Structure 1
Amino acid sequence: MTEIDYGQFHEWLQQARSAAEGGTTGTANPAGTTGTTGTTGAAGTDVRWELLRRFQEGWGYEPTGGERWEREEPDAHKTYVSGLRAGAGAGAGSCDTPEDDEPRDVDPSLAIPAALGEWWELPFNSFADRWRLYWTNPVWPPTVRPDPTGYGVAGGLPPANPFTGPSEDLRVCVFMAEDQYCNEWGYPAARSHLADPPVLVSARDDDGQEAWVLQSRSLSEFFLLLAVTRLPAHYGWTVEEGTIAPEVLARLREKLRPMGLLPWRELGARTEFFGGPDVIVAHDTGYGDSELVAYGRTEHALERLAGTLGVDWSESICEPESHREEE
């Protein structure tokens, strides 16, 4: 197996960003499948999708060629909740009314960013292919927050926020949610005309208040970050540490390099990623279950990292979950 140094990931990501910034300008396609607009063009997202493909392949993912999660697939949780509400309404004596042709939580006047449609169509989309590895729920078409139906719990952006200008639309278009809908990911409605807009997450900010926080600089980078948070946990050798000593953290920051991704925010966690030869380390500065989780493409890579950090993982390294699939 050829070694991959994830200490270089920041450079790979920066190259992709530079290509995106040099992309062509065009018109957004409301269907979200083709076309470009704003400062991010198809050439740039192509480079980012290639980085996603390489990352997935490096950790052992291969397209199964089987059933895929189609973007038009009904949201089972939303259907269930809507059924409960309809039942409660009927019990109270309300009359049945036909559903609108267009869901009231979707604003058809807003373009769907091209990158979102491109991601769904990727032949190597590991989420669509192996969604059970991800523990998230896709939302298609994207729905707005505040949600006029009351289903989505997050609100819109406050008037004073760093993501929109004066008099711009304060709504957020949600396209993905945590498995239990504790967090939602979306892009500002005011940026829906861009091909690859920034992504926000509904989470607690640094002051502990519920807010929309920047999650990724673009949609395509979000899906790369999502793969980083999920795939090594399934395909890699793993070590978890509930807490780590300050000197271990100091060695981590000295010996490994930040991967250049924004901190992943989910279920109270605020996770930063560091890369090295055949290893990725997730360091949580929030309220996750473990302060440190290390993933190795090989068991030897984690043993080598343990020596680098001055810790003993001889009894702690767990084999990949993917190995049990092969048994």
Structure 2
Amino acid sequence: MTEMIDYGRFADRLAPPRPRWDLLREFQEEWGYAVPADATPWAKWSEDEHQTYIRRLKGEWTGEEDDEFEGVDFSLAVPQALDEWWELPFNSFTHSPRLYWTNPVYPPTVRPDPSGYGVAEGLPKDNPYVGPDDDLRVCVFKAEYEYCNEWGYLAAEAGQDDPRVLVTISDDEWVPQARSISEFFVQLAVQRLPASLGWCLRLDAGDFPGAPVGERLDAAYRPMGFEPWRELGVHSLAYGGPDVIVHHDRENACDFPVTISARTRDALAAAARTLGWEWDDAQVEPPAE
């Protein structure tokens, strides 16, 4: 990690027409991620699952077996970007899922879920995403580890290659999470990898005397270009600087609303000084092995 990377310019890298999978690969490499030599990737399908799915697509389902795809609408296409992500040879989720604390849902299941397993509702008729006479369902492809939050795309946009992503903030409320599926997976990596693979500080707002930490972040760093991250009650903004990423939960919904992650210990120390934190070695987390 000899070359400094300014994550304050990340929004420029994120902007179209930049291929998102190239950006995901680069980001992982920048934080030292490599697919473990002994990794067995999380399979999108088991052989039996795939055979059953194809039978359902072909209308060969007899109805006598247990229906493991009861929550799937077979008339809806699966967006191209979702299948592409599963097949990426460098995919850090499929090879190292314990870094992520989320569950994939494949094939995506609709909400409301006719199987009764999914917890979220569909969209209300009065919503900002589709008209009241359009399909109000959401197709969920990812969930928080205990399904407290679910991420999905609009059933009305299932035919698009790379539709936008919504997230639940309650059982009956969906809000924007990413402008596309491919952007979501870059954002998920930004949320998860730096705190594990880099040098990390997790701090409370009370650790910053004087001006509120949000004001200091706005003055010192640039937003990375994502929608706020919504999970477990947080409303987290990602800021970038030289070799450093800072996540700030403006709702203070978690124990440590400020997480500073850096590619080097020196970059972590510089960010801590910039934000006015008094250094304490006991709170510093080195990169995970």
Shift of 1:216: 0.6
Q: Given the alignment, which residue of 221, 226, 232 partners 1:256?
A: 221
- Whether the aligned pair in 2 keeps the contact of 1:239 and 1:313 (CA below 8 Å) is no
Shift of 1:145: 0.5
> 2:267 corresponds to which residue?
301
- Whether the aligned pair in 1 keeps the contact of 2:249 and 2:258 (CA below 8 Å) is yes
Q: Given the alignment, which residue of 185, 204, 207 partners 2:151?
A: 185
Q: Given the alignment, which residue of 284, 294, 297 partners 2:249?
A: 284
- Root mean square deviation of aligned Cα: 1.7
- Whether the aligned pair in 2 keeps the contact of 1:237 and 1:317 (CA below 8 Å) is no
d(CA) in 2 for partners of 1:198 and 1:234?
A: 27
d(CA) in 1 for partners of 2:123 and 2:33?
A: 37
1:127-146 to 2 correspondences below 5 Å: 127-146=93-112
d(CA) in 1 for partners of 2:138 and 2:271?
A: 41
Residues 205-250 of structure 1: per-residue CA shift (max 9 Å, x gap): xxxx851111111000000010011100110111111114434432
> 1:90 corresponds to which residue?
none
Shift of 1:167: 1.3
- The 1:152/1:314 distance shift into structure 2, 3 A limit, reads same
- Whether the aligned pair in 2 keeps the contact of 1:278 and 1:296 (CA below 8 Å) is yes
> 1:213 corresponds to which residue?
175
- Whether the aligned pair in 2 keeps the contact of 1:238 and 1:296 (CA below 8 Å) is yes
Shift of 1:98: 3.1
- 1:48 aligned partner, one-letter code: R
1:1-327 to 2 correspondences below 5 Å: 1-14=2-15, 17=16, 19=17, 47-65=19-37, 66-73=39-46, 98-100=65-67, 103-204=69-170, 210-243=172-205, 244-245=208-209, 246-286=211-251, 287-322=253-288, 325=289
SS of structure 2 residue aligned to 1:281: strand
- Whether the aligned pair in 2 keeps the contact of 1:303 and 1:314 (CA below 8 Å) is no
Query: What is the count of residue pairs matched by the alignment?
Result: 267
Residues 267-323 of structure 1: per-residue CA shift (max 9 Å, x gap): 11111000000000000012122121100101100111122222212335523342x
- Whether the aligned pair in 2 keeps the contact of 1:136 and 1:177 (CA below 8 Å) is yes
Please report the TM-score for the alignment, with normalisation by the length of structure 2. 0.88
d(CA) in 2 for partners of 1:291 and 1:285?
A: 7
d(CA) in 2 for partners of 1:13 and 1:317?
A: 32
Residues 77-107 of structure 1: per-residue CA shift (max 9 Å, x gap): xxxxxxxxxxxxxxxxxxxx6313x722101
**Which has the higher mean CA deviation after the structures are superposed, 102-111 or 191-200?**
102-111
- 1:311 aligned partner, one-letter code: W
Shift of 1:155: 0.5
SS of structure 2 residue aligned to 1:201: strand
d(CA) in 1 for partners of 2:24 and 2:142?
A: 18
d(CA) in 2 for partners of 1:123 and 1:140?
A: 18
- Whether the aligned pair in 1 keeps the contact of 2:123 and 2:172 (CA below 8 Å) is no
- The 1:54/1:257 distance shift into structure 2, 3 A limit, reads same
Shift of 1:256: 0.5
- The 1:173/1:247 distance shift into structure 2, 3 A limit, reads closer
- 2:187 aligned partner, one-letter code: L
**Which has the higher mean CA deviation after the structures are superposed, 247-256 or 107-116?**
247-256
> 2:60 corresponds to which residue?
none
d(CA) in 1 for partners of 2:236 and 2:282?
A: 21
